[in-house]
Amino acid sequence: MANNPLNVGLIGFGIAGQVFHAPIIVSVPGLHLYKIRESRPANIALANQRFPQATVVTDVDDLFKDQAIDLIVVATSNTSHFELTKRALEAGKHVLVEKPFTIASADADELIAIAKKHNRVLTVHHNRRFDGDFNTIRKVIKEGMLGTVVEMEIHYDRFRNYLKPNAWREEDLPGSGILYDLGSHLIDQALTLFGMPKEVSAFTAQQRAGSKTVDNFEVILHYPALKVTLKAGMLVREQGYRFVIYGDQGTFVKSGIDVQEEALKAGKIPAETPNWGVEPEEIWGKINTNYKGMHMVAKIESEVGDYPGLYANVRDAIHGTGRLEVTAGQSRDVIRIIELAMQSATEKKTVAV
């Protein structure tokens, strides 16, 4: 059974489908990009050109009703995640949905219950867990190289001082703005490292002229003996450190961003690209610490980034040969933290989890 390829139906061939899903799916042994649902003519032409092995359809019901499809990938706008995921689960499909999981945590709870009822695998595309820099940090913390971690900062900054035309993420819609977009990644990374906090404090802003939704935020996760600060903004032209970790024995800092996204945007396919996910030495992290009786100041070679590993893990979970790495419950917690952050920003106070 585990040797049978899984047929994948991809809903949406916009940026997410083109860049983050289709090239990964075709790179993972045991997965077959079987069908793509897309309605825009230019995207249909591109899908046919780049992935001729897949049948392109315009009606999403063609995926739900197709008995040959094992796994449906929902790569659509945030407001559609709940309904499409629900329909896919009720059609008996396993589902991977783009982040953010849902807009409301109550919707996530409902989807988790439906997946359990139908005994289907339900997961979320938190691909930043498979970044080389993040997995380097996991290793540094696990090995105790900084002693007890007392504070951490994670940044995901960009510079775009204008609004993208016709971009739903820039509109005043439920689930729009960078708290749901970039914030989902940062919150998931923090919860993966440290679990749920005790309290949340947040500040949000609309800094660009004409902005209709959040384009800057700072979220602080309060733990009993640890503070984690998550920051993102659209007016950061000079990039600082992406990760900063303080422990009672030392500090780790990391600049730059995982190389996989730019490679995917350039049209590269992981399975066809040598040294996929390998970071150049100039953006390796730096550590200054006391470790195993020695004072060390050194670069730490980055772990290799592995976006295909997310899909390989989903494949194994469906076959029952591996434990699901990104669970729906964990992804639901990300949405709950976003809700609490919005509450904190509105009420201008720290809120309990």
321 within some domain: no
Q: Which residues of the chain have pLDDT under 50?
A: 1
- Residue 265 domain-assigned? yes
325 within a domain of the structure (yes/no): no
**Do residues 277 and 299 both lie within one domain?**
yes
Residues 142 and 108 in one domain: no
**34: containing domain:** 6-127
Q: What is the pLDDT of residues 291-305, one digit of tens each?
A: 999 999 999 999 999
Same domain, 160 and 112: no
pLDDT (tens digit, 9 = 90+) per residue, 143-159?
A: 999 999 999 999 999 99
* Domain-terminating residue out of 99, 127, 155: 127
Which one, of 142, 171, 189, 135, lies nearest residue 305 by Cα? 135
Pair (157, 283) in one structural domain: yes
Residue that is last in its domain, among 127, 155, 183: 127
Q: Are residues 151 and 298 in contact, defined by beta-carbon separation less than 8 angstroms?
A: no
Q: Quote the number of domains for the chain.
A: 2
Tally of CB atoms within 10 A around 9? 26
- Whether 331 is covered by a domain: the verdict is no
| 167-185: burial string, b at 16+ Cβ within 10 Å, e else | eebbeebebbbbbbbbbbb
237 part of a folded domain: yes
Residues 22 and 85 in one domain: yes
Same domain for 102 and 243: no
Backbone angles phi, psi at 164, to 5 degrees: -70, 130
The DSSP element (H or E) to which 205 belongs, if any, is: strand 199-205
Q: For residue 123, what is the domain's CATH number?
A: 3.40.50.720
Q: Which residues contact 231 (CB under 8 A, 6 or more apart)?
A: 153, 154, 155, 156, 157, 217, 218, 219
Same domain, 27 and 99: yes
Mark which of 110, 127, 144 sits at the end of a domain.
127
Angle at 13 between CA 11 and CA 16, to 5 degrees: 95
Neighbours of 300 (CB within 10 A): 17
- Partnered with residue 111 across adjacent β-strands are none
> Do 215 and 302 fall into the same domain?
yes
Alpha-carbon radius of gyration of the chain: 20
CA distances from 235 to 11, 47, 111, 184, 231 (A): 32, 33, 36, 19, 12
333 to each of 109, 180, 183, 201, how far by Cα in Å?
10, 13, 13, 16
Distance CA 305, CA 311 (A): 13
Does residue 145 sit within a domain? yes
User: Is 201 within the bounds of a domain?
Assistant: yes
Residue 264: which CATH number?
3.30.360.10
Same domain for 232 and 211?
Answer: yes
Residues 270, 261 contacting (CB under 8 angstroms): no
Which residues are CB-neighbours of 241 under 8 A, at least 6 positions away?
Answer: 153, 155, 253, 254, 255
Q: Is the peptide bond before 100 cis (omega within 30 degrees of 0)?
A: yes
pLDDT reported for residue 1: 40
Q: Tell me, yes or no, whether 237 and 304 share the same domain.
A: yes
Specify whether 94 is located in the same domain as 46.
Answer: yes
> Are 61 and 173 in the same domain?
no
Residue 323 lies in a domain: no
